[in-house]
Amino acid sequence: MSGGHRTLDAETAGRLVEQVLDRLAASGDRAACDAAEELVRVLMDFYGAGLARAMELIGRDPQAPARDLTEVLLGDELVAGLLVLHGLHPDDVHTRIARALHGTGQSWQAAGFDPATGVLRLRLTGSSGCGCAGTREALAQTAKDALASLAPEVTSVEVEAAAKEPALLQIGAAPHRAGGRSPATAP
């Protein structure tokens, strides 16, 4: 397996976890031991949920071609997040950013991503309200939440102020003239 992952079978992994928990118990630090056992439970629940979700998605159409099944798995936030966590997601960071932002209900344009700092600059391309700082902060948080599992490389989101839209020209009936006739009804 690539990426420095070592292959373990279930028995070996279980034995290694037990050895670590036994070493913690032998240290006499009950709080650390309890925390480690809770950590193991949380991770088991997390991975179990991911595997259950993958099996559910595959089971919906077991005869589907592998390419279709892959897209279904990559489209699921939990499964895709596990793949990203382990460096197994096939998409590059820019593709994962686009995939995550697509699900926000906003029309985003990436204005730049700096992998060295983790800063993603975004620009809204659709209507997003008043453009005030509070709205931009809320939109940035929405984007950060969407990116959390698919693009953990993004550590900060900056939403650029939307370009000012031109003022609307009010078109309406002209005021009435003296004599009661408007320009529209004048001969």
Residues 68 and 105 in one domain: no
Q: Would 59 be classed as within a structural domain?
A: yes
Residues 42 and 17 reside in one and the same domain: yes
Q: Are both 106 and 59 inside the same structural domain?
A: no
Domain count, the chain: 2
Determine the average pLDDT of the residues in 118-131: 76
The domain that contains 113 carries what CATH number? 3.30.300
CA distance 121 to 87: 24
Do 71 and 127 lie in one domain? The reply is no
Task: Say what the pLDDT of residue 1 is.
Answer: 38
pLDDT of residue 2: 42
The Cα–Cα gap between 150 and 79 comes to 10
Q: Is 75 in the same domain as 127?
A: no
For residues 100 and 148, state if they share a domain. Answer: yes
Alpha carbons 38 and 148: distance in angstroms, whole number: 23
Structural tokens at position 111: 């204005």
| Shared-domain flag, residues 105 and 63 | no
Residue 124: pLDDT above 90? no
**Around Cβ 79, how many Cβ atoms within 10 Å?**
21
pLDDT tens sequence across 89-108: 999 999 999 999 988 888 88
Q: What is the pLDDT of residue 139?
A: 85
Q: Specify if 85 maps to a domain.
A: no
Verify that 103 and 58 share a domain, yes or no: no
Instruction: Give kind and range of the element (H or E) at residue 138.
Output: helix 133-150
Residues 98 and 155 in one domain: yes
CA distance 107 to 125: 5
Domain range for 59 is 10-80
Number of Cβ within a 10 Å radius of residue 48: 10
pLDDT digits (tens, 9 = 90+) for 17-74: 999 999 999 999 999 999 999 999 999 999 999 999 999 999 999 899 999 999 999 9
* The pair of three-digit structure tokens given for residue 179, joined into one six-digit string: 């004599």
- Which of these, 180, 171, 141, lies nearest to 122 by C-alpha position? 141
